[in-house]
Structure 1
């Protein structure tokens, strides 16, 4: 996909004799993956000859100019066939392909969670969002469904970029409102994969009583925190009365369609709605009150929610450790790099489920090194930079002197064979070229 459409885009700009190969694209993505755990302030510093920043693996795999060329022409769609209604048409084929693959290799688990994810972006775009309190407050909002079960918590199953009313969600789901429509659409995705008694967890942005009733009609369990004005006049204590009770007090009631609503007094009043879980049996949890540990009662549905809600949050956490640090100038480049990091995170989960023992950093490094070492692009070496050894070649001239080397190499000034080199700079030089090389122009 990337090779085909990047070459198509470059050809439309009349760039001749610059066809991108599959090996070059793999090496390009290998450099992006490596930048997640080897971060530099500027991406060109990977190719500098300075000893403090030069990266031999990157520079030997691909030249700097070739990397810049691929970055400027990176595409995953045909610009002549873009949908005017879809603001993410530039990356739509990539989202569709990645969703298919995530669902094809998805582990079979019943517990799932739905939440929003933020892709950091600080440029200009009509779909850029600001969400107060998020680690990444500015960027593109992505609806995401992920597994919440402990052994593979964080495996992303489905994702969809948010674009207002044009978000790619079925019209029938949108009748229930913005948040519930995302949960309903994710439930249909799960049912298309495999018919299981799924249990979906979500926060109060998504939870409504009609949503839980609709999920129950499709034999899907749902649990989520719920806002005070969405309880359908269920007969439970008001928030004001509950605050006057002791810590650990709870009350519950049900609607006409068997949706249970539980109100619990902890640090604050917690409201949970569920169409499957029960209040009993009661668990005991430890809390700190006036510098003393106390034990308070906790209903079963709230304990289950706390244990299985964090699937998407775990996915965010894994990505944030080694997020691709190289940035592009195109608005969609951050989405491409985000999907790259997300794919590695999912692959790492599958690796562990197959009995692998690598942590995420080792797994990421192995992918990067494999791509860079097996897809090296043959190229001619250019002239050495005039700034080579600039920090030391013009200072402490008494420490520079010529020594004999084992075999002749090219002089750095006149480019003729020579048997001697500068001891401090480790550069081949003739006697006559020694002074010009160590003198500023």
Structure 2
């Protein structure tokens, strides 16, 4: 552990000037490339953030009050909903000079994460940080749908969406081209808005809560990255370290183990063939020995 390094010392200063993540870029990019090449995801992909807890010193440590561990390194991740397989990801390093000034951070993150999987009719589930009307239109051009909660303070939403409905469990449906906006009053003073291009029409259940179809679908598909993060923390191999490259390496190992387990279960295997036990081998040897004796 003392001599564990992931870069060359003679090239370190030159790389750090251009990339804050240079000490782990090669290892991380190799892991992501292998994850993309080894698995074909299902129809549903979840995009969300992961706060990897660490006390190591680095220039891109984040503070997130809504997370159990307040401090850590933020990673943008994409995961398969069905198997929780890690599909793609990259760290958040602060301001990105390559991102266009007119493009939102959430739109840029989603388009970068799902780029290897667009054009095949898949669906992407996001939360209110990522979901926007511009993102929906960009994904539709690549034959990819989106379902996600939407911040009701966004400019593209109608002012009527911000009005709290008096009736509980009421649903309001709004349409814009191929996008469907569902406003569901789940609590007396709180409603949720979901934008979907997967549901041209929205059916409503007939039980007491009368949940619309978009809300039910979102609740099922939103947990891909969250469950992946919980599994990685539950069975982590992380140890104490003050070096952030080693902490990132621990995170790679945790997610690599989950991916390996998913691939092991999905890979076809030959039927189990029971090997003869040592007792049967011994009895056969004695039998053959007795038969070879002269009478």
TM-score, normalization by structure 1: 0.57
Q: Which runs of 4+ in 1 moved over 3 A?
A: 237-241
Counterpart CA distance in 2 for 1:126 and 1:327 is: 19
**1:148 aligned residue (64, 71, 81):** 81
Query: How far is 1:355 from its partner?
Result: 6.8
Query: How far is 1:345 from its partner?
Result: 1.0
Structure 2 contact 241–247 (Cα < 8 Å) conserved: yes
Query: How far is 1:225 from its partner?
Result: 0.3
| Number of the residue aligned with 1:309 | 222
**1:265 aligned residue (166, 171, 185):** 185
| Number of the residue aligned with 1:322 | 235
Q: 5+ unaligned residues in a row in structure 2: which ranges?
A: 270-295
Structure 2 contact 148–196 (Cα < 8 Å) conserved: yes
Alignment of 1:160-239 (within 5 A): 160-166=90-96, 171=99, 175-191=102-118, 195-230=119-154, 232-234=156-158, 237-239=160-162
**1:281 aligned residue (186, 190, 203):** 203
Q: 5+ unaligned residues in a row in structure 1: which ranges?
A: 1-70, 286-294, 357-441
| Number of the residue aligned with 1:381 | none
Q: Deviations over 1:284-309 (max 9, x none)?
A: 56xxxxxxxxx211111111111111
Structure 1 contact 111–308 (Cα < 8 Å) conserved: yes
Farther off after superposition, 131-140 or 74-83: 74-83
SS of residue matched to 1:223: strand
Alignment of 1:28-427 (within 5 A): 71-82=1-12, 83=15, 84-149=17-82, 152=83, 154-166=84-96, 171=99, 175-191=102-118, 195-230=119-154, 232-234=156-158, 237-242=160-165, 244-245=166-167, 247-255=168-176, 257-267=177-187, 268-284=190-206, 295-354=208-267
Counterpart CA distance in 2 for 1:229 and 1:176 is: 18
Counterpart CA distance in 1 for 2:122 and 2:155 is: 23
Task: Indicate the structure (1 or 2) with the bigger Cα radius of gyration.
Answer: 1
- Indicate the RMSD between aligned Cα atoms, in angstroms: 2.0
Number of residues of Structure 1 aligned to a counterpart in Structure 2: 264
Distance 1:241 1:166, change over 3 A: closer
Structure 1 contact 204–227 (Cα < 8 Å) conserved: yes
SS of residue matched to 1:94: helix
Structure 1 contact 86–166 (Cα < 8 Å) conserved: no
Distance 1:227 1:340, change over 3 A: same
Structure 1 contact 279–299 (Cα < 8 Å) conserved: no
Distance 1:219 1:175, change over 3 A: farther
Q: Deviations over 1:179-210 (max 9, x none)?
A: 1111111221223xxx4111000000111111
| Number of the residue aligned with 2:281 | none
Q: Deviations over 1:281-333 (max 9, x none)?
A: 22256xxxxxxxxx211111111111111110110111111112422232211
Query: How far is 1:272 from its partner?
Result: 0.3
TM-score, normalization by structure 2: 0.83
Distance 1:163 1:284, change over 3 A: farther
Q: Deviations over 1:31-75 (max 9, x none)?
A: xxxxxxxxxxxxxxxxxxxxxxxxxxxxxxxxxxxxxxxx11111
Counterpart CA distance in 2 for 1:231 and 1:274 is: 17
Structure 1 contact 122–138 (Cα < 8 Å) conserved: yes
Structure 2 contact 125–146 (Cα < 8 Å) conserved: yes
Structure 1 contact 213–275 (Cα < 8 Å) conserved: no
Counterpart CA distance in 2 for 1:301 and 1:342 is: 30
Structure 1 contact 212–275 (Cα < 8 Å) conserved: yes
